[in-house]
Chains A and B, each alone.
Chain A
Amino acid sequence: MENLVLQALSGLASASSLFLVASGLTVIFGVSRVVNFAHGSLYMLGAYLAWTLVTTLPRGHLGFWGGVIGAALLVGLIGLLVEVLLLRRIYRAPELFQLLATFGVVLIVQDLALMTWGAQDLLGPRAPGLRGSVEIVGLRFPLYELFLIGVGPVVLALLWLLFHRTRWGTLVRAATQDREMVGALGVNQRMLFTSVFFLGSLLAGLGGALQLPRESVNLHMDLSIITEAFVVVVVGGLGSLSGAALAALLIGELHAFGILIVPKITLVLVFLVMALVLVVRPHGLLGKPEAAARGGQGSAEPVIGPAPPALRWLALAALAVAVVLPPFLGDYAVSVLTELAIFVLFAASLHLIMGPGGMASFGHAAYFGLGAYGAALAAQWLGAPMLAGLALAPLMAGIFGLVFGYFCVRLSGVYAAMLTLAFAQIAWSVAFQWVEVTGGDNGILGVWPDAWAAPKLVYYYLALALCLGATLFLRRVVHAPFGYALRAQRDSTLRAEAIGIDAFRIRWLGFALAAAAAGIAGGLFAYGKGSVFPTYMGIPRSVDALLMVLLGGVQTLSGPIIGALAFTGLQEQLVRLTDLWRLILGCIIVLLVLFFPQGLAGAARARWEARHGDA
């Protein structure tokens, strides 16, 4: 019983920290509609800067608390800088491009932090005056945790006062409800956005700085907190401060008690709750549906015409190289090419959802991984031959695509994207924690191709044929009535329904088809590597797929193909050449977003069309 009380209290302390970060994220999203992936990086910077300041400043109250506040302010300024230099220029870009840009910032910050503070974990001093512990129901409880429990409500109260008692706060609330209207009323939106970013970043920095006495500062803080913060914000309802508080409480306590009750599924618990909340309440606990954007036709996607002849020749040339060259290459190069072919299909499958479908998926790796596990499990437990495994891969991914997609495609925008992420995380943690069947973290080894396909070169041609075939099939689909129906519901659900198109069904089937195609890629990857691991379904791989599609451009299928080749090739080379590949890749992403907002293929197409004068 006493244990439960302490557990509840430590749950409250986590909830408090979580709320600080999530409140900043939700305020920023509410006003700017930017899904700020870099928010976790700001949190991490808060912790690192606090460490530097606290260890440099003289010891004592002033040094510690001054350091914490100073770190929060510095992070606020960094956030402000990111807004002014980067985000301000891309507010009109599609939501996912903003996400891509902030992800570039994540990569940059990771390497900068590594350069500045090194790879080892840093331990901060404990808070002066709060070192001891108090006795609660006969057990000892750290004072600092108690202090943290108080911080959350205090910050919530201050934010409430700020938003309800000041003119600035009223403007922020107004902009959260209807940004265009606030603009039309002559409010200086730039100042408003910049100041909101400052506040949001400051809160993230404060959240990070206050972790200093609790845990070591390390380079993984950014991604671990951002997923949790996203969960909190989405469960609470995007843009809703009280929702974030409620959700932080829920998630904090869930963590605390989940460990006691069902230790086996701790990793998945949070995402299960998020999935459940989103299925029951599509806009989170306290969120409201977004105000529909005005001026309907303004942001229409361009018409898809036949590919320009130059592109056709280029594609044929690339194909000729892909077929003729490999026999003259070494094993390593051939396996790199195999991977390239696989990732082209992976990106192309995501493109079907994002381009024609108009939906976002943050969890597409789930279907890649499910395909890989489908093949590996068949090989491991049924002794299935390779071709049977490869046939099972898309089946497994497709079936789960149907099940998960049934829920995901009902939602819209960021909520839909977050639900795909939740399902992917659920799949990931099942693979990670169901050790008896999946081998857990150790994965499944010995998934080798049949003897006839064992030579690297033969396997390459097999992968090339299957990936190319599947990608070309997806291309046919985009140009066939089904692909048009997908675009129809994306362009105008109202019109689609008015001509008898069942938008939900079309989206659902499109999602499942994309999942099955990703499954083929996953199955091929499994046999290519000879093993599968839970990381195949992890967030980084989903992000990779997003990067490929967005780098290339979502308009036509040439985009993800070029994006996959560019991204995989670039990463491969950068990792080999330099330790600072994250920094360089991040900078490249940011520059691409700033200067090629339509992606590489989109930019090339625009140039080609400008030169040939048919707009």
Chain B
Amino acid sequence: MATLEVEGLTKSFGGVRAVQGVTFAVEPGEMLALIGPNGAGKSTCFNMLNGQLRPDAGRVRLMGRDITGIAPRQVWRLGVGRTFQITATFGSMTVLENVQMALLSHHRRLGQLWRPVARMDAAPARALLDRLGMADQAARPCGILAYGDLKRVELAIALANEPKLLLMDEPTAGMAPQERVSLMALTADIARESGIAVLFTEHDMDVVFSHADRILVLDRGRLIAEGEPAVVRADPKVREVYLGSGAVTGAH
């Protein structure tokens, strides 16, 4: 069974049809990239998947269960991790505490009034940070972290509830080229290892074509192409959309 099935997803803002009848599915362990020029509807699409936006029409199913329009925090409880285009972490907490919060929430221990956080779920949080190569930053405040490191923290947070699906909005935006490749390689490893389905949007075509198993191309709210990287690369409609940017060839 596919981890995520999306069927006929549609959303308009006023007169603008941001997303129209988008249908696709993601399999466990698969890295699926959602690409398209600016304003194609990628972020809108994303925000409908985890409940931040309610679609006008269409269905979203997670492991066969209809999750259309339910609140982000409930979507998370069902096993969907999320990283944001502009990172969102708790700036007044350390890296470790940020991950601990996700774990504590996962274990439903946030109502506790007495035991100090310092001693709760610290070991698994450290293990997660270790997995992402952030162990040495554990004690630093998130508020002063470099942007690339914040992206890694977000990934650690997103992995805390043992998700079945990861939604990553521009996971490598703002990172150095070297960092991008290593972060995405790591993500792909983790996804394959744990059978996590990963859906990500991305502007960097190097990242997309070297790490995605499959690619969806959105243009003006519609899916115009779908398939393995080589197929998408050769698609004349995709070339037309990206004409002049040269991005699809991967050349800079």
Give chain A residues whose Cβ lies under 8 Å from the Cβ of B93: 303, 484, 487-488, 491
| Chain A: minimal CB distance from B99 (Å) | 10
Which of B31-39, B110-118, B199-207, B213-221 contacts the other chain?
Answer: B110-118
Looking at chain A's contact residues, the main secondary structure is helix
Asked if A20 is at the interface (CB within 8 A of a chain B CB), the reply is: no
Contact of A499 among B76, B91, B111 (CB under 8 A): B76
Contact (Cβ within 8 A) B104 A481: yes
Contact (Cβ within 8 A) A500 B92: no
| Chain B: minimal CB distance from A100 (Å) | 21
Given A304-B92, A482-B111, A485-B110 in contact, is the A497-B73 Cβ separation under 8 Å? yes
Given A300-B143, A480-B112 in contact, is the A487-B90 Cβ separation under 8 Å? yes
Q: How many residues of A contact B (CB 8 A)?
A: 32
Contact with B along A280-322 (1 / 0, CB 8 A): 0000000000000000110011111000000000000000000
**Least CB separation from A482: chain B residue:** B113
Q: Considering the chains assembled together, what is the distance between the CA atoms of A244 and B165 in angstroms?
A: 49
Give chain B residues whose Cβ lies under 8 Å from the Cβ of A498: 50, 72-73, 76, 82, 84, 88
Q: Considering the chains assembled together, what is the distance between the CA atoms of A536 and B71 in angstroms?
A: 41
Q: Considering the chains assembled together, what is the distance between the CA atoms of A521 and B99 in angstroms?
A: 36
Contact with A along B90-112 (1 / 0, CB 8 A): 11111001001110111001111
Contact (Cβ within 8 A) B92 A491: yes
Q: Considering the chains assembled together, what is the distance between the CA atoms of A572 and B91 in angstroms?
A: 39
Given A498-B73, A499-B160, A501-B110 in contact, is the A488-B91 Cβ separation under 8 Å? no
Give chain A residues whose Cβ lies under 8 Å from the Cβ of B94: 303
Counting chain A CB atoms within 10 Å of each CB, the highest count among B72, B77, B101, B109 belongs to B101
| Chain B: minimal CB distance from A12 (Å) | 39
**Least CB separation from B111: chain A residue:** A482
Q: Considering the chains assembled together, what is the distance between the CA atoms of A490 and B93 in angstroms?
A: 11
Contact (Cβ within 8 A) A480 B115: yes
Contact (Cβ within 8 A) B112 A482: yes
Asked if A86 is at the interface (CB within 8 A of a chain B CB), the reply is: no
Asked if B120 is at the interface (CB within 8 A of a chain A CB), the reply is: yes
Contact (Cβ within 8 A) B90 A492: yes
Which A residues from 548 to 584 make CB contacts under 8 A with B? Answer: none
Give chain B residues whose Cβ lies under 8 Å from the Cβ of A481: 104, 109-112, 115, 117, 120
Give the interface of B toward A (CB within 8 A): 50, 71-74, 76-77, 82, 84, 86-94, 97, 100-102, 104-106, 109-118, 120, 141-143, 157, 160-161
Give the interface of A toward B (CB within 8 A): 296-297, 300-304, 473, 476-477, 479-485, 487-488, 490-492, 494-502, 506
- Kindly list 20 other residue pairs between chains A and B, CB separation below 8 angstroms, not including A300-B92, A300-B143: A297-B91, A301-B91, A301-B143, A302-B141, A303-B97, A476-B113, A477-B113, A485-B110, A488-B93, A490-B92, A492-B90, A495-B88, A495-B90, A495-B157, A497-B71, A498-B73, A498-B84, A499-B101, A501-B105, A502-B73
